[in-house]
Amino acid sequence: MNFMNVFGIISIVLNILLIILIIIRSPNEQSLQENLAPFQLFESSTKAEESIDKLIRLLTVLYFILGIFYSLQKYF
């Protein structure tokens, strides 16, 4: 498996995770509680919102870093 294939796989997984988190992180608090209630991952919806927001920020930064690195690999 070459290096570019690994970038492609990581990019696909990162995109899927971002889409799922953005769908879960609805501006409607009621919707967030309904989506996460069966999993009982968080103590409250406020903590869930904070955790998901942090995770979205982290994944977005990783997405841009991966994009920059991928562009540099193609350039050189």
Q: pLDDT tens-digit profile of 26-63?
A: 666 556 556 666 666 656 667 777 888 898 899 999 88
pLDDT at 50: 83
Range of the structural domain that residue 53 is part of? 3-75
> Which residues, other chains included, contact 29 with Cβ-Cβ below 8 Å and sequence gap of 6+?
45, 49
Mean pLDDT of the chain: 77
What domain count does the chain have? Answer: 1
pTM: 0.68
Q: Determine contact, residues 18/60, Cβ cutoff 8 Å.
A: yes
